Amino acid sequence: MKWFFRFVMKLCFWSLLISIGLVLLFKYVPVPVTPLMVIRYFENTEKSNSWEHNWVPIENISKNMQLAVICSEDQKFVTHNGFDIEAIEKAYKYNKEGKRIRGGSTISQQTAKNVFLWPERSWLRKGLEVYFTFLIETLWSKERILEVYLNSIEMGPGIYGAEAASQYWFKKSCANLTALEAAAIVSVLPNPRKYRANPATTYIQNRKTWIVKQMRYYGKLDLNKKK
């Protein structure tokens, strides 16, 4: 039993050390690949086009795109510490009623999942998501979290990140996206392999209109200042 206990302790120690090391590394270094990209690659039997992923610094991502994703996914992003308790409670009540599964994840939680974990609904993954969310909220700035999120999230079939999505859907750099174009791309996030940002379906058009309205209500985005 002693050797087993020592093994578990060493495993926990090295897991903790490696996880913190990775979070510190990606505080400064662009994320080259995510677990989801690898999973999607092996799901694609043709392998002709594995994925499109062009990392760009947040300065080269349109403010419209930054604001659109916050207004759509997590309007309390600037003020919370990684978790939106109210949104989690609402999602829990909604799901308990037996309706279609609804998530209550913040942008920070989605970033932690996208970069460090796998896309599976399980208590283990959720627990690790909480852990990594705490780490990135502690060690990264809000600006860095949003930068990594916008460079790693799936935004189309084999399309990852704002730059690749902008080129794919609108044939232009994400630095030049208008509010309507940014909202259109963000509108597909519930199911980026099913929905199209351009040309937009009625469902996407309605979502796009709602997001643009939220962007107007939100006002100026300041990632370095608590609201």
pTM over 0.85: yes
What tokens does 25 get? 């590394």
* Within-domain flag for 5: no
* Within-domain flag for 1: no
* Within-domain flag for 4: no
Which domain does 39 fall in, by range?
A: 32-218
pLDDT in tens, 75-100: 999 999 988 877 776 765 665 555 55
Is-contact 116 130, C-beta < 8 A? no
d(CA 187, CA 211): 8
**Which whole number is the average pLDDT over 219-226?**
79
pLDDT in tens, 140-164: 999 999 999 999 999 998 999 999 9
* Within-domain flag for 2: no
* Within-domain flag for 210: yes
The CA R_g of the chain, rounded to the nearest whole Å, is 18
- When divided into structural domains, the chain yields a total of 1
* Within-domain flag for 194: yes
* Within-domain flag for 88: yes
Task: Report DSSP state, residue 58.
Answer: G
What is the domain-level CATH number for residue 98? 1.10.3810.10
Backbone angles phi, psi at 155, to 5 degrees: -130, 20
* Within-domain flag for 223: no
* Max Cα–Cα distance, the chain, nearest Å: 63
